[in-house]
A and B are shown apart, each in its own frame.
Chain A
Amino acid sequence: MDIFLQQIINGLVQGSIYALVALGYTMVYGIMGLINFAHGEVVMIGTLVTITVAGSLIKAGMPVAVAGLAGLMAAVLVCMALGWALERVAYRPLRNAPRLTPLITAIGMSIVLQNLAMMIWGRNYMTFPSLLPKVDFEFAGANFTMIQVIIVLVSAATMGGLLLLVYRTKLGMAMRATAQNPAVASLMGVNINRVIAAAFVIGSALGALAGVMVGTYYEIAHYQMGFMLGLKAFTAAVLGGIGNLAGAMLGGILLGIIEALGAGYIGDLTGGFLGSHYQDIFAFVVLIVVLMFKPSGLFGEKTGDRA
């Protein structure tokens, strides 16, 4: 039972990070139907910027809390600028191109960003400065840290904020209108370009936050870390029903928990035949099984057969 609770907690933490990244995918997809493969790299750049900024500030003698906040702010700003630039330079010219064209562009941008990051930060693993005090808690036989609590709380608050933005503000209404039908939305006076840019910028800011969380949690970062994280987050977004905000959140958390439980129990389930290094398989197996029965994800709207 202890392992069960422990793995649920670990899964919840990992899942909140997936959820934040998944939101970036799902917002862009919901509005313009594009899989932004470069989103994982945006997250990676957020982590590495924080290392540089917070690390050098701490070295300069600043208090850790100030340095950490400055690092986070820097990461969020850099990623927002990056998200905006990506949309403006790479995707906007392709808005009416054949369906697969922007996908290849996204892959190209992902390769570009990864190698730019390697040129700037090198190919070695980097240690993330410890920004939060290490305090341990114990609850019903399971251990968890202050960092885990903060990750879950901050992502919950951020997601709440995003929902408020999308469902209670004018910009949010414009976003929902664009997602339903860009042509009609623009006839009603919605500035489509601004809405799409906003989706990229907000998604990237969430990605930067997730990047800082990943760094704080694992205390290590690398120029290739965005790839698998992005892949998992995208899987989470599809699992929840891509284009659906609540779906991405729940999909992310579900994926995190399934992975953690899978890694904890796969040995017992298969009589020791498969070990915990099969952890990465769970995400994809669950995805395939779910889509077999619910072809548009768990919470996705039923996409009617349209010509």
Chain B
Amino acid sequence: MNFGRFFRSTVGIGLTAAFLVALPFIAATGGQAWVRILDFAILYVFLALGLNIVVGLAGLLDLGYIAFYAVGAYTWALLASPHFGLHWPIWAILPIAAGLACFAGVLLGSPTLKLRGDYLAIVTLGFGEIVRIFLNNLNAPINVTNGPQGITLIDPVSFGAFKFSGTTQIFGVALSGPQKYYFLLVALAILVIIINIRLQNSRIGRAWQAIREDEIAAKAIGINTRNLKLLAFAMGASFGGVAGGIFSAMQGFVSPESFSLLESIMILAMVVLGGMGHIPGVILGAVLLTVLPEVLRYGVGPLQMAVFGKMLVDPESLRMLVFGLALVLVMRFKPAGLWPSPERQRELQETGK
């Protein structure tokens, strides 16, 4: 082994780790709200990487990904809240959430195997809407989801007596609730990143990429396209389910509003804007698209006051307007995403596109 390279990569990993550990404490100086934003950024990294398996690796355009997130979130909410009086532990709920989401993924995947490109997109979109409409209306005749009001007082994540809500002292360092969730989420995100990297270079990952590039050719060389497409749906969905469970516990509250089509679109935008199929790009896209709207939220109001001396336009709509424009501009000038994989960049240059 080349010692220099080993040394450099060790230093790189060390610096990244130090940065990741320091980040929640740096963010906390701006208030716990920023730590919470950080938590969401990592949760979205997790979700975007899950969707990246489906869209980026296997090339299946999924516009209903949020449905699996919703399945996970409601699984946690129903099994750990006063709504049904159940308070199951995390190691029972998370596998159930992942399993149910996985089942939903196969359920969506199996009738859509024959569909291509945009037809698949609209069907997945419809599936997402169906799930949301059911969540909204399953409060009668039997009250399962409590309808539009959603479910409140959901248990936080806890391991035995160690709860993730409230502040605790660990080795003399005070850790707030969001900071604890941060470390849990980072651990989960690292796990997903490792799974993604391992998948990408595995037999399965290469088969997915073959299907993405040319399904007929993939079939011709003996790839079982049916099973592999289902596997992509199932895997992406399980990640969505786990993320949903953590979301539910972190918020303490879920309602159908959190699972609108716009959310699915946002996650897809993260994957595409970052650089489809390229793990660092997807991470960048997820962090940017979570943090940018928040920065704008705190930025556009005061900025208007400073420049014009009064509020000219509603800051909330100005924020979304800038966000929409940012999407358009990035796609205009970086059509393959902000940080595309080197191979993809080369392909685009070769074809002169």
Contacts and interface: CB of A to CB of B under 8 A. Distances in A.
Interface in B144-160: none
A85 to B, nearest CB: 12
Contacts of B327: 104-105, 107-108, 111
Given A119-B321, A272-B141, A305-B216, A104 B123 contact: no
Contacts of A29: 118
A134 interface: no
Contacts of B265: 107
A146 B318 CA distance: 41
A104 B273 contact: yes
Contacts of B55: 100
A273 B142 CA distance: 9
A284 B129 contact: yes
Contacts of A5: none
Contact of A105 (B121, B136, B328, B336): B328
Contact of B261 (A231, A288, A297): A231
B111 interface: yes
Contacts of A118: 314, 317
Nearest to B126: A284
B137 A277 contact: yes
Contacts of A307: 214, 216-217
A235 B125 CA distance: 10
Interface string B305-345: 00000000110011011011111100110011000000000
A181 interface: no
Contact of A112 (B118, B119, B127, B328): B328
Contacts of B325: 108, 112
B272 interface: yes
Contacts of A108: 324-328, 331
A91 to B, nearest CB: 10
B232 to A, nearest CB: 16
Interface-central residue, A96, A109, A118, A288, by most chain B CB under 10 Å? A288
A238 B123 CA distance: 9
Given A98-B348, A288-B111, A111 B126 contact: no
Contact of B324 (A33, A93, A109): A109
Contacts of B321: 111-112, 115-116, 119
Interface residues of B, number: 52
A234 interface: yes
A110 interface: yes
Nearest to B120: A291
A235 B63 CA distance: 13
B276 interface: yes
B30 interface: no
B299 to A, nearest CB: 16
Contact of A281 (B122, B133, B317, B324): B133
A109 B265 CA distance: 13
Contacts of A295: 114-116, 119
A303 B123 CA distance: 17
Given A291-B119, A295-B115, A97 B127 contact: no
A278 B118 contact: no
10 contacts: A90-B328, A97-B336, A98-B348, A101-B272, A111-B320, A238-B118, A278-B137, A283-B126, A292-B112, A295-B115
Interface of A: 29, 33, 35, 90, 93-94, 96-105, 107-112, 114-116, 118-119, 123, 231, 234-235, 238, 242, 272-275, 277-278, 280-281, 283-285, 287-288, 291-292, 295-297, 303, 305, 307
